[in-house]
Structure 1
Amino acid sequence: MAKTPAPRKGPASPATSTAKGKAQAKSSAKKPAAPSSGKARGLGRGLSSLLGDAGIAATTGTALAGTALAGTASAGAVPGGAPVQSGLTELPIEWINSGPWQPRRRFDTASLSELAESIRSKGLVQPILVRPRAGTSNRYELIAGERRWRAAQMAQLHAIPAIIRNLEDEEAYELALIENIQRADLSAVEEAEGYRQLIDSFGYTQEQLSEIIGKSRSHIANLLRLLSLPREVSDMVVDGTLTMGQVRPLIGNGECVALAREVAKKGLSARQVEAMVARGRSGAGGPSKAGVPREKSPDIKAIEVMLETKMGLRVDIDWNEQAGSGRMSVSFKTLEQFEAVMKKLVTN
């Protein structure tokens, strides 16, 4: 059973543990009002540490005890219509707009309906994260918690608990991406588009993203390859018609769209798609025996995975057991990737 918190002399800070509370207070005291622009600040630290004490309190429910959030909250929850500029508060839903950094293309209606029903019956405990919109008053941009915000509207709430933080665009993009990845319900294409935005807008390398997001470099590299797919095919991945495994063999194929439609229509597995693409390649260079590509052995596949992990690039090995020969190809899209491969080959 939770202990009754002792009277506090400073800002509210729920005591999940004494040591943790002191560490957070110390971190907050040192942190300047505006976030640092350097990547060394470790933006991938996650939502809980950025939200600070208020975020933790809201998650445990202590900061929102006694508030009516199950559909009866008043639009005037913010005293005098002038919300605080940082910290935990309630904001009228109409004051909030979706941010441009949202990596999701689509939201599942059935899932939102279930969340809305939960909010109606139990209220909304975990707050959303917003930042003030520059040059306006009483307007905020949503950074994290868009599903909760949309579901709260479906549940006809007038106000919603929110953490207000003054964040730079770079931090907002990172946090929006991290939150969605941690919830594991982004499509592969949406995740890749989030990585591409951080690379193009803020100059991140794949190595830096790997450290910040907590994903392997090969995982990020493989996802980024999906962005070369035609829009129709990438949409199939976003809406769940096809998986990453099914479309990956189609990357760079001139008949990508037609093949993707065929895969979706026939419900082919990833391995069957690889075989279909291989048949097409062998047909262009000469007939293959029985028209069926050679099945890769588990050992060859294991070697491909090992090399892809080390290089962060796509590796294909075509081995002919009978002839005792074969070929290996490494796919790269930039000069930087090519130079990295050459450096490893020369060094080793």
Structure 2
Amino acid sequence: MRRNLREEMLNKTASLRSTAEVPRPVLEPAVAPDPSRLPRTGPGQLAALTTAQQRIKELEEKLASGGARSKLPVSVLERNPWQPRRYFDQAALDELGQNIEINGQLQPIIVRVHPEQPARYQIAMGERRWLSRKNRGHAEVDVVVVDYSDEQMAITALSENLQREELSDYEISLSLATIEKAFAKRKDIAEAIGISRTQLFRLSAFQKLPDFVLEDLGTQPRLLGASAAGDIASVLGRHGQEGTNALRELWPRVRQGQLEQGRVAKEIDVLVSRHRDASPRRDGYLRTFYRNGKKAADIRRDGKHLMIRVHQAVLDDKTEKSIKDFMDKLFPQD
């Protein structure tokens, strides 16, 4: 039976030693890394690249113990172009910096040579370590230079963040969208980083939200989670522009923390219905009714008729009798 992608990549790393078993290497004087001796990863495929998801620490220590560890100036390093994290907590960076001051930089930063600027390096893993050292005014950092493809850089950045720090759902969705567009199929990504297809579907809902929402998520990525984004996208799909207008009216309350994200979709329904009641039209829908979040009935008018339509799924005997009694009162028999 063919193993899935996740099982295959875990098998590839089964022989790596635990960090507790790896002796601390003796740091060599700062020298320029020799490109011909750089450790290489496997082929530039998603399966090889995603070994970082389960064993990032083991990979770092194994590379460091192999003699490839060296020092580079802080100024020649730059962030991973596919870094999903849009915000780094300053207090956490300060705490990390203090820890490194006391215990030393136990793990090197994993970098690759910049593909367009050979004198510079892009960070594959360890951006927080780099930022903490940079913020404290240190001139150099310990690094291991590896030969990573663009694909490996992208998935490694996402994998490291998922393992070590809690990314917001919005940040994950942006990273997944970028990786999917540039490199891999959605199914492969889900297997590789351990996200269910259901969660992957919810994460994709962010891309269906209006621009004014996405702009705020760019600076406050935790305003909406994936579940709330999915519910909002669904209700916007039902109401079209009316739904978007209602969301625009509600959004300042979400941004200011006055409206819980889980209630936004229901509030859109309420607001759209209220606006329709306040602005009846001579033709078309006058009002739409919902039950359990699904359309149950509507009232509409055309040139000759006023029509009440009830969905068969909610039309039980009691409801049908109520409608008939209502009509009898409107039009009593002579």
TM range (shorter): 0.5 to 0.7
What is the aligned counterpart of 1:273 among 264, 268, 272?
264
- CA drift of 1:166 comes to 0.4
The answer to whether 1:221 aligns with 2:211 is no
Alignment root-mean-square deviation, CA = 3.5
- Structure with higher Rg: it is 2
Equivalent-residue separation in structure 1 for 2:114 and 2:221 (angstroms): 34
Q: What does residue 149 of structure 2 align with?
A: 168
Equivalent-residue separation in structure 1 for 2:211 and 2:88 (angstroms): 18
CA gap of 1:110–1:266, structure 2 versus 1, over 3 A, is closer
Following superposition of structure 1 onto structure 2, how do residues 140-151 of structure 1 map, counting pairs within 5 Å?
Answer: 140-151=121-132
CA gap of 1:119–1:274, structure 2 versus 1, over 3 A, is same
- Aligned residues, how many? 251
Structure 2, unaligned stretches of length 5 or more? 1-16, 23-38, 237-242, 277-284, 298-309, 316-334
The answer to whether 1:250 aligns with 2:257 is no
Deviations 1:96-142 (A, max 9, x none): 11221111222222332232233333332222211012354442111
TM normalised by structure 2 equals 0.63
Equivalent-residue separation in structure 1 for 2:180 and 2:251 (angstroms): 28
CA gap of 1:171–1:205, structure 2 versus 1, over 3 A, is same
Deviations 1:221-249 (A, max 9, x none): 21111023234423434525622244443
| AA in 2 matched with 1:55 | E
SS for the counterpart of 1:156 is coil
Check whether the contact 1:93–1:153 (CA below 8 A) recurs between aligned residues: yes
Deviations 1:283-316 (A, max 9, x none): 4454578xxx65x4xxxxxxxxxxxxxxxxxxx7
Q: What does residue 207 of structure 1 align with?
A: 187
Deviations 1:48-103 (A, max 9, x none): 75776652586xxxx6xxxxxxxxxxxxxxxxxxxx9x832222211211221111
Q: What does residue 43 of structure 1 align with?
A: 49
The answer to whether 1:325 aligns with 2:313 is yes
Equivalent-residue separation in structure 2 for 1:281 and 1:326 (angstroms): 22
Check whether the contact 2:223–2:255 (CA below 8 A) recurs between aligned residues: yes
Structure 1, unaligned stretches of length 5 or more? 1-12, 19-31, 64-83, 297-315, 328-348
Q: What does residue 71 of structure 2 align with?
A: 90
Q: What does residue 299 of structure 1 align with?
A: none
Check whether the contact 1:199–1:205 (CA below 8 A) recurs between aligned residues: yes
CA gap of 1:326–1:318, structure 2 versus 1, over 3 A, is farther
The answer to whether 1:264 aligns with 2:255 is yes
What is the aligned counterpart of 2:216 among 233, 236, 239?
236
TM normalised by structure 1 equals 0.61
What is the aligned counterpart of 1:122 among 93, 103, 114?
103
| AA in 1 matched with 2:231 | P
- CA drift of 1:323 comes to 8.6
| AA in 2 matched with 1:209 | I
Equivalent-residue separation in structure 2 for 1:144 and 1:114 (angstroms): 19
